[in-house]
Amino acid sequence: MTNSNLYDEDIKYEQKILNDIKNIDSETWWEMLDEFLTEYIDNNSLDEDKYFGHIFVALIDDECIEDEDFDNVRMKKSVSMDKINTLETWIGLEEVKALENELNEMTDEQKKETVIIYLYSNSWKFITSFQTDKDTIDSWN
């Protein structure tokens, strides 16, 4: 999907953020977000056009982060990737610009076949993100 250098940089960046919170393994969070997203799609019977090409924003309470208490994660907002600027009210201009830069590295075809979930604390601090694509989601069935 993306080149390995970008993926490696993403891992380093997100692991640094998680290490700033506590020595938390990003793989654990990615697995949780993968499961959370899968359940959200299934439980809401979302059609592909409601999640591919979309960004989801989920929240977790600050006090649940270090305990890795994932039961508290909840979906807050979803938007199509071409409407990312509408997230400014929620996550701020600086975060939106960072996300736009990430999306600019993807082709239009990749965007159409990708779903991304960003996890923030309830104080709107970025925690981590997870992205998956059509091939992976198709393999769930």
Better-scored residue on pLDDT, 12 or 54: 54
42-67 pLDDT, tens per residue? 999 999 999 999 999 999 988 888 77
User: Is pLDDT at 17 greater than 80 in this prediction?
Assistant: no
Partner residues linked to 22 by β-bridges: none
pLDDT at 10: 53
Domain boundaries, the chain: 4-140
Query: Quick one: pLDDT band at residue 97, thresholds 50, 70, 90?
Result: very high
